[in-house]
Structure 1
């Protein structure tokens, strides 16, 4: 490998930092330039709605590497800088000051941003979104005991913040357009579990509700008006209706994009000199046999090793199963696999749902395990992965029986 080669990484989050790390670990001795739009060192985002909001972790605790690491590993980290355009023919990215930066290989790790639906009043003071450390800090400042928070969206971030707010003594209302929380991720059976969890902790849940406007007074949010006319009073509003992948740079460059940047199993885009990792990567998954884009921490953490190998011309593929986790009140959960609503035939539960100590399994055709979720039951993720990757039919009765070890199901 010629030391004169330059690899550029666009995106200064976890995926970008880990791509730089993986390149050095794989003995790339050329130049690495890491462009980060934020002014902070790259950091992990899950704590923004978990430990940071809970007051258990400061930014330094979830910063990927401290400043000395980039200097010691000869990574040219440019904070407050990102690519404004990409010229694939010239192998150049354009920077905000109008200059260009040449590359031999390029990694796109541009991540995603909060969706901002066109709700009247959504730009008022007191309306919060959650994607950056500044937004998390601003939200924390609004969660005073006795104050009222309305959360628009009952997805992972919305529910995690709702839980942390209740722990702080905040009066919480959650508004969701779907009939249940997490319906697209978990289906109705497990969505009900999370609805009951939050009701037990005093959250006022409004399902199948349409938000008409965020009401304001003197430019500050005062509540949320629903289409049916009800007004939910609020001192603060959190809009948590999903994330939007930052694919504009890829689209401008003419890369194949369809809901995300299309990549193969090796994370190569439609341009052989460009890879994509993290939230934006819509990968043809070699195990699942379908194209999937996952907006979770595990991809940003683990995909960079494959992307780095691909950039270096080494054979590699990303075969990890989708994985995510959450902590809400006294419920800790891990999910592995892929079983979107409408994509599975049945659900099998082993354990006690009422005590929230169980493992749930989503089964497809011929009783093959597609995904599993352990709730307050630990050290079973590897066994669940084995059931999924085996691709063999299981006996649902044995799967539901806690006396049958998971490693003896097949």
Structure 2
């Protein structure tokens, strides 16, 4: 048991997103029966964020269906839930957390699951009416309302969120313009073959992509945005501008408490800060890369949930290093991208499948070792890739380039009889 987790004020979790709710759930599942408090700064019950830019904007999901847990979950599990409250200070000596209404919560162990916030667009005019981020339910509600009334939409940032929103615009009958300073869509998050395919498909479906183009100024009239002026002097009409240029980890609370931060709250392989009574998980945590590549910070449901489970195990007496395989997804209209592993630093790719028809997978290698697999409309490939990477099954570029290669068959050729039976 982590020192003090049962005593004083039990476990207090700051942040009621995926990581915060999961750690509360996992603590109860693992037998923690002490006080358990969850603090969220948004007024709603804790909810899922990924559907905001997909099903929710498309009108396929209601706000109520976004809830991570039903309201009775918190009462049934004995979780004291604060919503619409912001944590403003940590006293590490007294082991207390202060909220913005002067409530003071004692803790035996404090979990920082404070998430991340959108980067601000650093150009003149970014404060005009009609310039919106897409991070919270309130953002998505505003955008859903605006999509019924706007004509010209510009999306700044061709990352996952920007392209997902562009797909939602097309579903609403609009023809969005997406611009990004990078040369390829989704930046360095995907390989060149995957990026090229998505760029082509978005263009074919009616999105105007302006890559290598930077916004210099947002122009407006009577306080409302009317256009985006690019660095080369072109003005693109816009009565709605959505910015998606990345996020920043919410580390202010940790910094004020004197905890180390470096693109996130610095934690060790057990997700612990230098203070034995404080841990950090999810989008705000900078943790050692299990591949030995330094320190990383990941923004995904998988990472948030798996880190929460790992921390709950440590707090209930079963510590283990965090080494879960990273995986991600992005649904952009009828384009389904699923990624297993981390492709950063790859030096070779092999593509399997029909890129223009039923989908394909890109196998990313570094020094002939498989580091990631990007699957487009190939869910079976994705599930097998996760097992290949998680189990460390050797796969070479030559293996994948063989015309008869099947990831499922390759997995089954390992010595595990259970895997052979699944082939």
Bucket of the pairwise TM-score, normalised by the shorter protein: over 0.9
1:28 counterpart = 2:48: no
CA RMSD of aligned residues (A): 1.8
Residues 1:99 and 1:376: Cα distance change in structure 2 (over 3 Å): closer
Residue 220 of structure 1 aligns with which residue? 224
| CA offsets 1:269-306 (integer angstroms, 9 cap, x no match) | 22121111110111113355542211112112222111
| CA offsets 1:131-183 (integer angstroms, 9 cap, x no match) | 11110011111213771110000000000000110111112000100011112
| Cα displacement (A) at 1:250 | 0.8
The gaps in structure 1 that reach 5 residues or longer are: none
| CA offsets 1:292-337 (integer angstroms, 9 cap, x no match) | 2111121122221111122234212322111111111221121010
Cα distance in 2 for residues equivalent to 1:22 and 1:140: 34
Cα distance in 1 for residues equivalent to 2:250 and 2:48: 17
Residue 206 of structure 1 aligns with which residue? 210
Cα distance in 2 for residues equivalent to 1:145 and 1:122: 21
Residue 90 of structure 1 aligns with which residue? 94
Q: After superposing the two structures, state which structure 1 stretch, 287-296 or 107-116, moved more.
A: 287-296
Cα distance in 2 for residues equivalent to 1:34 and 1:390: 35
| CA offsets 1:42-73 (integer angstroms, 9 cap, x no match) | 11100110110111111211201121111111
Cα distance in 2 for residues equivalent to 1:235 and 1:81: 33
Residues 181 and 191 in structure 1, CA contact (< 8 A), matched pair in contact too:
yes
Cα distance in 2 for residues equivalent to 1:74 and 1:387: 39
Residue 394 of structure 1 aligns with which residue? 395
Residue 284 of structure 2 aligns with which residue? 280
| Cα displacement (A) at 1:391 | 4.6
- TM-score w.r.t. length of structure 1: 0.95
Q: Which of 108, 111, 114 lines up with 1:107 in the alignment?
A: 111
- TM-score w.r.t. length of structure 2: 0.92
Residues 86 and 92 in structure 1, CA contact (< 8 A), matched pair in contact too:
yes
Residues 145 and 169 in structure 1, CA contact (< 8 A), matched pair in contact too:
no
Q: How many residues align?
A: 407
1:358 counterpart = 2:365: no
Residues 145 and 168 in structure 1, CA contact (< 8 A), matched pair in contact too:
no
Cα distance in 1 for residues equivalent to 2:337 and 2:191: 15
Residue 279 of structure 1 aligns to a residue whose secondary structure is helix
| Cα displacement (A) at 1:4 | 6.4
In the TM superposition, 1:47-66 aligns within 5 A as 47-66=51-70
Residues 1:60 and 1:127: Cα distance change in structure 2 (over 3 Å): same
1:12 counterpart = 2:16: yes
Residues 214 and 223 in structure 1, CA contact (< 8 A), matched pair in contact too:
yes
Residues 348 and 400 in structure 1, CA contact (< 8 A), matched pair in contact too:
yes
